[in-house]
A and B are shown apart, each in its own frame.
Chain A
Amino acid sequence: MTSFTTSFRSAIGRFVRGLVSRATGWSRQVLGNRFDRPAGLIAATVVLLALAELPNPLRVVALPAALFVPGHLVVTLIFGPSRAPVGLTGAGLRVIMSMAAYPLLALGIFIADRFYTRTSVLIAVLALGVISAFVGLTREYRHGEAVTGPPVGIDRAWMSRAMMPVGSLVCAFLIVAVGVEVAPRRPIDEFVQFNLGGRWALVDAAVPIAAGFEPAIETEISNRTTEVRRYEVVAYVGGRDDAVDRWEPVRIEVAPGETAEVRVEGPIPDLGCRTKVEIVLNDLDGPDEHDPLALFFRAAERSDC
């Protein structure tokens, strides 16, 4: 069993190392061995922009490039390829400079009197890539030869040692990501919304109506619980406590997660300058927990209101 596990692990290790080795070899061939040469800078910029042009949600794969490439462009622009820091310092600096590059690009966009939109961000990153590559070319021309830094080799021994720590880091990350989804948590609070619906939700003053007109008030009930709720919606003219009239109640059942529209209508006797109508939500299976909705009507023909 142990020998099987050992050989399985070493086979996986060989496979991963082979993949990385091929990828590194390919990138060295295509990009002239260095990502900080002008061609490499343009390639990095194009990769970021191409990934950012993928349709959503595939565009998410641009994230590592978005957190690394702008900083890489800035660092190479400032230091030049032969002096740019490498290793952990170089990686950290590129990430932090990426984070710092966006605000300065945004301020540039602002000074150019443009909005900070997706298009302007893409153009700004492209401009940064072109400037960085142009400065790189100028440096090469002035020096008369390709300027490169020390090789960033990933030797096998280093990779072999990296497998366990990096693997543990990935595992810990997965444990937290999965754990937060599967670990039991306190159930979310349940509630029912009751509100004026449609254009009635926009009422901002007493509603003028002609005498004898019977308004039909729209309401909405949104059930944010896990059970079916049964309600009776009823309107009281003059308010619930001092009602002069009570409209025909409407009964309704609302499934969990659903929103029901309920319309109540009726006459308003003795319509004056300000007649209150309260709409009450009666819970047919439990105590009433909602305050009534309240709005006002006035006689349209009266000029003193």
Chain B
Amino acid sequence: MDASWAPELELPDPEGPVITRHRSNHGLRRALPFIGMMLGSAIVVLSYSMADFAVPGQKEHFAVFWVGTFLFLMPAGWRLLSHRTAAIDRYVLILGVGMFTYVPKFLAYPYRPAYFDEVGHWIQVERLTDDGLLFVKNNQIVVISDYPAMHMFAAGVRHLTGIPTIVVAIIMLVVLHAVALVGIYVLAKTITGSEHAGSTAAFFYSIGPGFWFFSSQFSYESYGIVVLIWGTAAMAKMLTSDPAGWTRTSWMLIVVFIEAVLVATHHLTSYMFVIVIGAYAGAALVFRLLRRDTTLTMGESFFVLGVAIAMTAGWLIEQAPGTQAYVAPFISGGAGDVVAIFGGGAGLEEPEGLLAEDLELEEARELFAGSTLPMYEIIMGFVSILILPLLALFSGIVQLKKALLDRAIIFAMTLFAAAYFVVYPLMLSVEGAEIARRSWSFTSIGLAVMIGSGFQVISHIKEWWKRAPLMGLTIVLFMGVLMGNLATGINEVYRFPGVYVYGSDTRSTTLEIQDAARWFQDTQGPNQRLIGDRTIQMWFNSLGKGILGVPDGGNRLWDFVLAENEPDAQVLHAARSVGLRWVIIDERQAQYKPFIGFYLDQNEPLATERVEPLPESSVSKYDDIDWVIRVYSSERISIYRLDLSAVEIQEVLATVDADNARRSDAAKAGLVEEAG
């Protein structure tokens, strides 16, 4: 590969291990990150044990967590940023950092799915393994049945090894974390031609948003992002290979192979990959037109782009037409919030007695509102938002100074990195913040390559008294970014174990609920239609193999859980229409407000607006109703079977049927009159 554009930078030994001995590769300096890896792991384990016993308000476990994390990551970062590090150390450190980033999630909720989405994916794999059917509907996360690639992988490994799904999930995530950083390393090394730029990029990606927790959940995103990283690396390999050789064609086939897998993995990831390929192809076109860099062949880029678009569109139209309806509310909600914030509430009705400024404040998201994180993390959450553009700016200056942006392939990645900052305003709205966070998992790939190409110069500074402080400052800034990313990306309840928190998914899951779900499946069998709060939904849909009665604007099925009085005729009619037979009540709904802001569904009445928990009568309303059979009771969970065949219910339902028939006849008569 031609690397004349970087005359001062190290040229890597092609693929082979670098075994050149150097003073810094000996003794304590070499051993430090590896000692830190072991000690840091032990201290992080300790921090999670402390967190489990912490009472609300205690924050010592945060500090212990950071001590353990810094003990490993700071010396590891130093070695990865240095161009003198031996190849084997670099490789093991990349793998070690990757694996280490999965440890906190594993320690928080070991050997069980913890997050809402994880439970949905876990049961999808269980079902695929049991019955061998693809595309089986899942009404906990409706869209995942159309994107089964990750489930196919996990079920395939389960078939070959006999390992339980949850252990396959852990192994998959450990491997994915390690392989993700290897992929970033390969990508950055291919683009910049420098091994230590590659490892700098990998280290930067490891501190990126979502990598520690979001990408640690057993879900299609975690799998898809890593496949996308390798697709991006394969694309770079293709574009930098000998134009006349089979290797180039091979890499192109790999890219197409990966896109084929991504379209069956995750909607957003497959679209992002199209954007990445588009960035490469666009850069090739622009540079060709400007005659600045003609090393990229446009034909192959656009061919791959065309294939990717065709596959993505084909899957969306033929296999997953429901995706649009699933994704649209997030996008329109985020866009609407941002427009409202920046447009001064334009388009919104201004309630009486409320000033426009108040309205803006209401619509805007209050960052870290009610957060239980320590103050230093919250501060770093804000500061890191400022540090990142500065790091990118430094890299951009280096790229300009060294004329790196004259190369189309680097320009493409820098363009992709810029998208990281474009979505900053979205952080000001609730739904927009979700979009921003998700996009960062992708755009930080470009940012990592940019940072890798820029920060490689520090290690090459000849005077040690200049080099060492700058390296130290870089590591400190990176650690600050990591702290900020964790603070903005995840709350304490998702990050650490601890006391019970109602409606939090992670800490509201109890053995009592899980055992009730197992009893339900053992005695009643699968596919029973039921309703309950969100944690009940998680476990009765998965362990209980039930089907969720999904409330919406058209019915008020949530009244079975939320209402103070017995459900009225319309609700009973809706229950009969959808075949609802079971109601499961967690008595704690009358003691706590749900952590996530709603009991069953984000569209339920007073979602996120409640100031008090539900009244006691919402739990006791079934005590004196003659058409429910209480078949199960534990300290906090009751399972009710609805007897919609009861005479009094039949009478009520008959009244509703008669009303509906009358309305229907009247409507028909109206139509006939109009036609006449």
Task: List A contacts of B284 (CB < 8 A).
Answer: none
Q: How many residues of A contact B (CB 8 A)?
A: 96
Chain A residues 42 to 64 lying within 8 A of chain B, measured CB to CB, are 48, 52, 56-57, 59-60, 62-63
Report Cα–Cα, A91/B631, bound state, in Å.
55
> What's the least CB distance linking B646 to chain A, in Å?
7
Please name 20 pairs of A and B residues whose Cβ atoms are closer than 8 Å in the assembled complex, sorted by A: A57-B162, A79-B250, A83-B250, A92-B179, A97-B254, A99-B226, A100-B257, A100-B258, A103-B261, A105-B152, A162-B92, A164-B34, A165-B93, A175-B42, A184-B49, A185-B497, A189-B500, A193-B634, A274-B647, A294-B630
- Does B223 touch A at the CB level, under 8 Å? yes
A203 at the interface (CB under 8 A from B): yes
Q: Which residues of B contact A89 (CB under 8 A)?
A: 15, 182, 186
Looking at the assembled complex, report how far the CB atom of B147 sits from the nearest CB atom of chain A, in whole angstroms.
Answer: 10
Complex Cα gap A92–B477 (Å): 29
Interface residues on B, range: 35 or more
Given A48-B160, A176-B107, A290-B633, are A78 and B37 neighbors across the interface (CB < 8 Å)?
A: no
> Are the CB atoms of B497 and A186 closer together than 8 Å?
yes
Query: A239: which B residues are within 8 A, CB to CB?
Result: 624
- New A-B contacts (15) at CB < 8 Å, excluding given A83-B245, A193-B515, A203-B629: A63-B161, A67-B171, A78-B253, A79-B250, A80-B246, A83-B247, A100-B227, A102-B155, A106-B134, A106-B156, A122-B159, A191-B512, A195-B631, A224-B515, A274-B646
Q: In the complex, which residue of chain B has the Cβ closest to the Cβ of A240?
A: B623
In the complex with contacts A88-B185, A97-B254, A116-B133 CB distance below 8 A? yes
Q: Which of B20-76 contact A (CB under 8 A)?
A: 30-31, 34-35, 37-38, 40-42, 44-46, 48-49, 52-53
CB-contacts of B611-652 with A (<8 A): 623-624, 626, 628-636, 638-639, 641, 643, 645-647
Instruction: Point out the residues of chain A lying under 8 angstroms from B185, CB to CB.
Output: 88
Chain B residues touching A, majority SS? helix
Say whether B86 contacts A103, CB under 8 Å.
no
Tell whether, in the assembled complex, residue A104 and residue B257 are in contact, meaning their CB atoms are under 8 Å apart.
yes
Q: Are the CB atoms of B250 and A186 closer together than 8 Å?
A: no
With a cutoff of 8 Å between Cβ atoms, the chain B residues found around residue A75 in the complex are 254
Tell me the bound Cα distance from A258 to B466 in angstroms.
69
A118 to B48, CA, bound (A): 38
Chain B: minimal CB distance from A207 (Å): 10
Inter-chain contact A118/B159, CB cutoff 8 Å: yes
B166 within 8 Å of A (CB atoms)? no
What CA separation (Å) do A117 and B96 show in the bound complex? 35
Instruction: Report if B99 contacts A (CB, 8 A).
Output: yes
B17 at the interface (CB under 8 A from A): yes
- B163 CB–A CB distance under 8 Å: yes
Which residues of B in the span 146-175 have a Cβ within 8 Å of any Cβ on A?
148-150, 152-153, 155-157, 159-163, 171-172, 175
A254 within 8 A of B: no
Closest to A305 in B: B647
Judge if B334 is at the interface, Cβ distance under 8 Å.
Answer: no
A residues 66-88 near B (Cβ < 8 Å) are 66-67, 74-75, 78-80, 83, 85-88
**Given the complex of chains A and B, what is the CA–CA distance between A183 and B41 in angstroms?**
13
Stretch at the interface among A4-12, A33-41, A166-174, A261-269: A166-174
Bitwise interface map of A from 122 to 149 toward B, beta carbon under 8 Å scored 1, else 0: 1001000000000000000000000000
Q: Is the CB of A106 within 8 A of B152?
A: yes
Q: Are A165 and B157 neighbours in the complex by a CB distance under 8 Å?
A: no
Establish whether residues A161 and B86, one from each chain, have CB atoms under 8 Å apart when the complex forms: yes
Question: Digit string of B91-134 for contact with A (CB within 8 Å is 1, else 0)?
Answer: 11101100110010011001000000000000000001001111
Per-residue 0/1 for B489-503: is the Cβ within 8 Å of any A Cβ (1 yes, 0 no)?
A: 000000001111000
- Asked whether, in the complex, the Cβ of B162 is within 8 Å of the Cβ of A176, the reply is no
Contact of A202 among B95, B265, B523 (CB under 8 A): B523
Is A234 among interface residues, defined by CB-CB distance under 8 A? no
Bound state CA distance, A222 and B515, in angstroms?
10
Least CB distance, A5 to chain B, in whole angstroms: 15
* Alpha-carbon gap, A155 to B519, bound state (A): 58
**Cβ-based interface call for B524 (8 A):** yes
Taking a contact as CB atoms closer than 8 A, the residue among B44, B153, B186, B643 that contacts A103 in the complex is B153
Contacts of B328 in A (CB 8 A): none
Which residues on the A side are within 8 Å of B172 (C-beta)? 99
* Residues of the A chain whose Cβ atoms lie less than 8 Å from the Cβ of B89: 161, 165
Contact: B153 with A102, CB < 8 Å?
A: yes
Is the pair A193, B632 in contact by a Cβ cutoff of 8 Å? yes
How many angstroms between the C-alpha atoms of A57 and B30 in the bound complex? Answer: 40
